[in-house]
Amino acid sequence: MKNFFKIIALEVLQLNSKTGAVFTGRITFRELLTIHRLTERKESLIDPFGDSKIKKIVDDEEFQRHLNNNKLIDLGKFLESEFEDINNSKIIFPSSVIISLDLNENNTNTLNESDIDSFYEKDLNSCFVINKENISEIFIPKNERICLIVDGQHRFYGLKKFYDSIKDKDKKEKILDFQFITSILLGYDTFQVAEVFANVNFNQKPVNKSLYYDIFGSSVKVKNEIQLAHFLALHMQNNDDSPLQGMIKLLGKGYGLFSQAFFVEKLLIHFKENGAWNELYEDYISNGESYLEIPKFLKAYFMAIKDNYENCWPRKVEREEGLVYSAFKYEYVLCKTTGMGAFFRLIRDIFPLTKNLKDEKSIYNKCTEIFSKISIQEADRLFSKEGEYGKGGSEGFQIRLYKDLKNRYGL
């Protein structure tokens, strides 16, 4: 069996799962080094409404958070101190690394090792399982990138970074024999693996919520409210005619004035049963086209805000990456969470007034008629960081500003 690693594992059954098989076992750093891959999430530069059609946003497999270099450095230092006394045995990583592998379509419970050798030539990138009385033997081909690290990538890359830094051959050999406790997913498709990743990282421990919305907004298996909100966020972030272009921190990081999670959550409110866009959301999941009124409204709505309160609108600043929006260089709250939260709430009051208007220009004019009731001087005081609403970005401040604006606009 020179073409395979053999792992001894136990099959785990939870709640009569019908998704795929889950095993627990151990895998060495040497084995994982040979076969691993990651799927680091990238920011999407696509505008899904650019041609009025929903497009595939990113590679289906890209769902993991970026590796944190500082975390890797800290892990390297920790491992260095632990390996100083290599004979002092203790568990360094007690929790499981989760990996995902494809299961060969010819796999059956009656397989033997000679069968595996004959099937290997036909499919080099999937695994075989031989089930015995109390254990299972998993045969993994020794091929690059066939094993996806679903969770535990920092532990693996921290060890790899430490391994790469060592010159001593004996110590390197001992590190290669390091064993990870491992949960093995067999026969899961990409969407199911992404669900496992999200359940582990979002339901069990706090991780960037923007990444969560990006993952499940891009997974086009079933149309849902997160998906539509995600497409709208990408449209407003990437469309050349969008007044919010470049303001949304996709994946919750980098330059911008508010996070993708914030933007998506404010949109989701309007898809609910009594929301401003409930009917349009129902149209979206029914494969209609009326929902395209939403991106049209959003561009006109925020363009009217920009033009009416131009003095309070943010200006881009020069950075190494070019011209960007920076919250640290912005002296107003209009386009930060307080102001945006308030104006998103106002959609429930203003959208019904534009419902029968068919083009962006007409929607823009109607919104301008409303927003012009607050003068430039009044807006300067109202949206200033030094003013009444500049002391925080909590829901409380957003609601208070919303009620104030609603009163001033006579809505």
Here the tokens at position 4 are 């395979």
Q: Which one-letter amino acid corresponds to residue 311?
A: N
On whether both 266 and 325 belong to a single domain, the answer is yes
Q: How far is CA 176 from the centre of its chain?
A: 32
**Where among 168, 197, 226 does a domain terminate?**
197
On whether both 161 and 213 belong to a single domain, the answer is no
Is 286 inside a domain boundary? yes
Per DSSP, 314 falls in state -
Residue 280's pLDDT band, with cuts at 50, 70 and 90, is: very high
**Where among 197, 232, 261 does a domain terminate?**
197
- What distance in Å separates the CA atoms of residue 125 and residue 370, rounded to the nearest whole number? 61
Tell me the per-residue pLDDT of 75-95, one tens digit each, with 9 for 90 and over: 877 787 777 765 665 668 888
On whether both 184 and 274 belong to a single domain, the answer is no
Is 396 inside a domain boundary? yes
- What distance in Å separates the CA atoms of residue 317 and residue 323, rounded to the nearest whole number? 5
pLDDT over 80 (residue 199): no
pLDDT over 60 (residue 405): yes
Do β-strands 97-101 and 179-186 pair in parallel, antiparallel, or remain unpaired?
parallel
On whether both 193 and 312 belong to a single domain, the answer is no
Residues 6+ apart with CB under 8 A from 229: 213, 217, 263, 264, 267, 268, 271
- What distance in Å separates the CA atoms of residue 375 and residue 406, rounded to the nearest whole number? 15
Is 203 inside a domain boundary? no
Give this prediction's pTM.
Answer: 0.59
**Where among 162, 197, 232 does a domain terminate?**
197
Give yes or no for a contact between 39 and 63, defined as CB atoms under 8 angstroms apart: yes
- On the CB side of 46, CA atoms within 13 Å amount to 17
On whether both 269 and 339 belong to a single domain, the answer is yes
Cα dihedral sign for 138, 142, 148, 150? positive
Is 221 inside a domain boundary? yes
- What distance in Å separates the CA atoms of residue 23 and residue 84, rounded to the nearest whole number? 33
Work out the mean pLDDT of the chain and round it to a whole number. Answer: 82
DSSP code per residue over 167-212: --HHHHHHHHT-EEEEEEEES--HHHHHHHHHIIIIISS---HHHH
pLDDT over 60 (residue 58): no
Q: Which one-letter amino acid corresponds to residue 281?
A: Y
**Per-residue pLDDT, 57:** 44
Alpha-helix residue ranges (DSSP H) falling in 84-168: 113-120, 153-165
**Which candidate, 122, 86, 90, 89, places its Cα nearest to that of 107?**
122
Tell me the per-residue pLDDT of 371-400, one tens digit each, with 9 for 90 and over: 999 999 999 999 999 999 988 778 888 999
On whether both 193 and 212 belong to a single domain, the answer is no
Total tally of structural domains belonging to the chain: 2
Proportion of the chain above pLDDT 90, given as a percent: 36
On whether both 237 and 341 belong to a single domain, the answer is yes
Is 288 inside a domain boundary? yes
Is 337 inside a domain boundary? yes
Tell me the per-residue pLDDT of 99-138, one tens digit each, with 9 for 90 and over: 888 877 766 555 677 777 776 666 677 888 888 878 888 8
Give yes or no for a contact between 12 and 150, defined as CB atoms under 8 angstroms apart: no
Tell me the per-residue pLDDT of 170-198, one tens digit each, with 9 for 90 and over: 888 888 999 999 989 887 766 667 667 66
Average pLDDT over residues 346-366: 94
**Per-residue pLDDT, 60:** 42
Average pLDDT over residues 10-37: 82
Is 120 inside a domain boundary? yes
The residue whose two tokens read 């990113």 is: 58
Residue range(s) defining the domain that contains residue 371: 208-409
Average pLDDT over residues 61-82: 68
Tell me the per-residue pLDDT of 253-274, one tens digit each, with 9 for 90 and over: 678 888 888 898 899 999 998 8
The residue whose two tokens read 């995600």 is: 230
- What distance in Å separates the CA atoms of residue 272 and residue 276, rounded to the nearest whole number? 8
**Per-residue pLDDT, 61:** 43
The residue whose two tokens read 């946003």 is: 57
Buried b (16+ CB within 10 A) or exposed e, 86-123: eeeeeeebeebbbbbbbbbeebeeebeeeebeebbeee
On whether both 145 and 224 belong to a single domain, the answer is no
On whether both 348 and 394 belong to a single domain, the answer is yes
Is 42 inside a domain boundary? yes
∠ CA(181), CA(184), CA(189), 5° rounding? 150
On whether both 184 and 224 belong to a single domain, the answer is no
Give yes or no for a contact between 284 and 228, defined as CB atoms under 8 angstroms apart: yes
For residue 408, the SS3 value is: helix
On whether both 192 and 234 belong to a single domain, the answer is no
**Per-residue pLDDT, 62:** 43
- What distance in Å separates the CA atoms of residue 151 and residue 192, rounded to the nearest whole number? 14
On whether both 99 and 171 belong to a single domain, the answer is yes
